[in-house]
Amino acid sequence: MMRSVLPILTVLAAILVVWYGAAVWLNSAWAYDQAAREGRELTLVDVVNGTMAQERPVLPVPHQVAKGLWDGVAGQKITSKRSLVWHGWVTLSATLLGFAIGTGLGIALAVGIVHNKAMDLSVMPWAIASQTIPILAIAPMVIVVLASLGVTGLLPKAVISAYLSFFPVLVGMVKGLRAPDGMQLDLLKTYNASSAATFWKLRLPASMPYLFASLKVGIAASLVGAIVGELPAGATAGLGARLLSGSYYGQTVQIWAALFAAATLAAVLVMVVGLIERVTLKRMGMAR
Amino acid sequence: MMKDLSSMAAPVIEAQGVGLTFETNDGPVHALKDVNLTIGRGDFVSFIGPSGCGKTTFLRAIAALEHPTEGRLTVNGMTPDKARQARAYGYVFQAAGLYPWRTIAGNVKLPLEIMGFSRAEQEERVQKVLSLVDLEGFGKKFPWQLSGGMQQRASIARALAFDADILLMDEPFGALDEIVRDRLNEELLKLWARTGKTIGFVTHSIPEAVYLSTRIVVMSPRPGRITDVIESTLPRERPLDIRDTPEFIAIAHRVREGLRAGHSYD
Ligand SMILES: Nc1ncnc2c1ncn2[C@@H]1O[C@H](COP(=O)(O)OP(=O)(O)OP(=O)(O)O)[C@@H](O)[C@H]1O
Ligand SMILES: [Mg+2]
């Protein structure tokens, strides 16, 4: 236990030191400005103190962000528009829906690619091309097009989220479904097994470790997609909207609090997938 | 139970002028050339020869995993493909190749599930073949919990689970130590006596070939071909110490001579 905690704490401490240092450095200009306007002289202690509690710091110090996070999570009613829990839920629901769509699409395309020569040759280049287009260019178009069809709210964000998450699932699943070696496939041939049987008895179970590895990437990508989907067209709910309104009004503490909320959400989601992975693989006898 | 194996040896596998050429980037590889061989019902035939002489290729051709480019090959009077569709044989590969996500019983059950046996019959057969290979009580274990020898026995059980009357084995004991190998050889002979199956067996070991077989097929490479077929004069009942008898040593000597003759070109 100590062995794994100590390095983590060391890294954390180093980050905090650098962060505080950078905050003092970046926020000091404003403190000097203030002092010059009031005709005061500043000691070093004054400067440091003056950078710790600004309303709109260039870089908020860690304890300001922590306070912002705490206010947003515990200091509000969950239904309040200022509650990070509420915004987090809005983003989370789009993330989960997008993840489900993306995973389904990724798996379906992978199955097609592995079983169909024409799909093998045609789908992959398009899938790769789709990921080379910046999501920031796609997102507004998806929102606008879907809005013109009368679809707003959760679904457009989920579509963007799915757009990002299907790719890792597709790549991982193609690799996983092709993981069985020649001997394992030949064995089924000697039983005269149908390709459906080969899929259910061999390819699918063999692909599980690959699937879970890519699901972890996919769920994080889903969250990024949902947040990006909240940026255009002046959305008012979700962590993305919090980021956006924070930057409109120079509320840097709000931005950082939303960033940390998003990061925490991502970490929790990846951990949940990891947990399901452990349980599943253990049940299958593949974890050791 | 033991069938009368010596009489009425109906041809199970018949090869006439079989050739098999792989087209590779470095030009054609003649894995088999002009192979003529008849294997009767209940025969135990070993294939022996230096690496690359086409032993695996011939076994795979019988199993319809490769297709001859020349000649005629029949299994139970059918084409190998038809025989495969009729589920005529069980194949044991060099590696046990058990599925890691299935228990030992689950692995043995695999062919039964695919062939559509009923649940009750699956259970019954799994128990039967696991005890046949001396693995009772290991059904619930996962493959990685078993030794290499036990895994290989499980893979033999898997090939025995459905009633194929041909058993094709490609160096099944190649990776095992001498002692384990002796035990498994003995068990394989018993199993053969009990089931009356026709067995094709690839090996690199002369004593193993002589101990097990009713016939020993000596092959040589470039192009892969049969250079000698030796009929064993040993009785079907074979305790392990038969390997010290003059008769055994004489047959082993003939096999060695045959192997040497195949090498005479270089
Ligand atoms: N799929 C393939 N494509 C091309 N060449 C092949 C293929 N399979 C086998 N060969 C070639 O055919 C020849 C016979 O191979 P085979 O595997 O039957 O030999 P073997 O007698 O089983 O050898 P070993 O004792 O090493 O297992 C070799 O020269 C090999 O390189
Ligand atoms: Mg071989």
Ligand 1 cavity residues, CB under 6 Å: B 22, 24, 29, 31, 51-57, 224
Out of B85, B93, B115, closest to residue A187 by CB: B93
Q: How far is CA A14 from CA A10, B44, B53, in A?
A: 6, 72, 65
Q: Does B65 touch chain A (CB under 8 A)?
A: yes
Q: How far is CA A100 from CA A34, A165, A277, B17, B255, in A?
A: 52, 9, 16, 58, 64
Tokens 């980021």 locate to A243
Q: Is B111 part of a structural domain of the chain?
A: no
Residue owning the nearest CA to atom 10 of ligand 1: B31
What six digits make up the tokens of A104? 């389904």
Residue B6: per-residue pLDDT: 43
Q: Is B198 part of a structural domain of the chain?
A: yes
Quote the minimal CA–CA distance from B132 to chain A in Å: 21
Q: Which residues of B touch A184 (CB under 8 A)?
A: 97, 99
Residue owning the nearest CA to atom 5 of ligand 1: B22
Q: What's the sign of the alpha-carbon dihedral A149, A152, A158, A163?
A: positive
DSSP state of A190: H
**Within chain A, which residues score under 50 in pLDDT?**
none
* Helices A252-283 & A84-115 angle (0-180, nearest 10): 40
Output b/e per residue, A63-90; b: 16+ Cβ within 10 A: ebbeebbebbbeeeeeeeeebbbbbbbb
Please choose from B20, B25, B29, B170 the residue to mutate so as to test ligand 1's pocket, defined by most ligand atoms within 8 A of CB: B29
Which listed ligand is nearest to B222 at the C-alpha? 1
Residue owning the nearest CA to atom 29 of ligand 1: B52
Quote the minimal CA–CA distance from A206 to chain B in Å: 8
Which listed ligand is nearest to B60 at the C-alpha? 1
The CATH number of whichever domain residue B198 belongs to comes to 3.40.50.300
Quote the minimal CA–CA distance from B255 to chain A in Å: 30
Three-class DSSP category at B70: strand
Atom of ligand 1 nearest to the CA of B59: 18
Phi and psi based region of residue B27 (left: phi greater than 0; alpha: psi -120 to 50; beta: remaining):
left
What is d(CA B232, CA B248) in angstroms, rounded to the nearest whole number?
Answer: 9
Q: Is B201 part of a structural domain of the chain?
A: yes
Among chain A residues, the shortest Cα distance to B158 is held by A187
Q: Does B145 touch chain A (CB under 8 A)?
A: no
Q: How far is CA B39 from CA A134, B51, B88, B202, B221, in A?
A: 66, 23, 14, 14, 21
Give me the domain span that covers residue B184: 2-88+164-256
Residue B4: per-residue pLDDT: 44
Out of B91, B103, B142, closest to residue A190 by CB: B91
Q: Is B136 part of a structural domain of the chain?
A: no
Contact at 8 Å (CB) between B222 and B30?
yes
Contacts of B30 (CB under 8 A, 6+ apart): B19, B20, B21, B222, B223, B224
Residue B265: per-residue pLDDT: 52
Among chain B residues, the shortest Cα distance to A198 is held by B114
User: Which contiguous run of DSSP H or E holds residue B81?
Assistant: helix B80-85
Q: What's the sign of the alpha-carbon dihedral B207, B213, B215, B220?
A: negative
What is d(CA A184, CA B155) in angstroms, rounded to the nearest whole number?
Answer: 12
Residue A288: per-residue pLDDT: 58
What six digits make up the tokens of A272? 């949940």
Listing DSSP states for A225-257 in one string gives HHHHHHTGGG--SSHHHHHHHHHHTT-HHHHHH
Taking the centre of ligand 2 as the mean of its atom positions, its distance from the CA of residue B146, in whole angstroms, is 25
Out of A192, A201, A208, closest to residue B110 by CB: A201
Q: Is B138 part of a structural domain of the chain?
A: no
Q: Is B199 part of a structural domain of the chain?
A: yes
Out of A191, A202, A206, closest to residue B87 by CB: A191
* Helices A117-132 & A84-115 angle (0-180, nearest 10): 150
Q: Is B63 part of a structural domain of the chain?
A: yes
- The amino acid occupying position A2 is M
What is d(CA B260, CA A155) in angstroms, rounded to the nearest whole number?
Answer: 75
Residue B102: per-residue pLDDT: 94
Q: Which residues of A touch B78 (CB under 8 A)?
A: none
User: Which contiguous run of DSSP H or E holds residue B184?
Assistant: helix B178-195
Whether a cis peptide bond, with omega within 30° of 0, leads into B223 is yes
Among chain A residues, the shortest Cα distance to B142 is held by A285
Please choose from B53, B69, B201 the residue to mutate so as to test ligand 1's pocket, defined by most ligand atoms within 8 A of CB: B53
Residue B48: per-residue pLDDT: 94
Nearest to A218, CA basis, from A167, A178, A144, A278 = A167
Contacts of A203 (CB under 8 A, 6+ apart): A114, A176, A177, A178, A179, A180
What six digits make up the tokens of A14? 């180093």
Out of B93, B95, B114, closest to residue A197 by CB: B114
Residue owning the nearest CA to atom 25 of ligand 1: B51
**Helical H segments across chain A, by residue range:** 2-38, 44-52, 62-74, 84-115, 117-132, 135-148, 154-177, 182-190, 195-198, 204-230, 239-248, 252-283
What six digits make up the tokens of A268? 């929790």
Three-class DSSP category at A118: helix
| Beta bridge pairs of residue A270 | none
Residue owning the nearest CA to atom 7 of ligand 1: B22
What six digits make up the tokens of A132? 């080379």
Please choose from B33, B55, B168, B263 the residue to mutate so as to test ligand 1's pocket, defined by most ligand atoms within 8 A of CB: B55
Tokens 């209940």 locate to B42
How many other β-carbons are positioned within 10 Å of the β-carbon of residue B256? Answer: 14
Q: pLDDT 10s per residue in chain B (266 long)?
A: 344 444 445 689 999 999 999 998 988 999 999 999 999 999 999 999 998 899 999 999 999 999 999 999 999 989 999 999 988 899 999 888 899 999 999 999 999 999 999 999 999 999 999 988 889 999 999 999 999 889 999 999 999 898 888 999 999 888 778 887 888 898 889 889 888 899 999 999 999 999 999 999 999 988 899 998 999 888 888 888 888 899 999 999 999 988 888 765 54
Residue A134: per-residue pLDDT: 87
Q: Is B52 part of a structural domain of the chain?
A: yes
What ipTM describes this predicted complex? 0.87
Three-class DSSP category at A279: helix
Q: Which residues of B touch A201 (CB under 8 A)?
A: 110, 113-114
Based on the structure, what is the number of domains in chain B? 1
Quote the minimal CA–CA distance from B235 to chain A in Å: 32
Verify whether the Cβ–Cβ distance A285 to B95 is below 8 Å: no
Q: Which residues of B touch A288 (CB under 8 A)?
A: 144
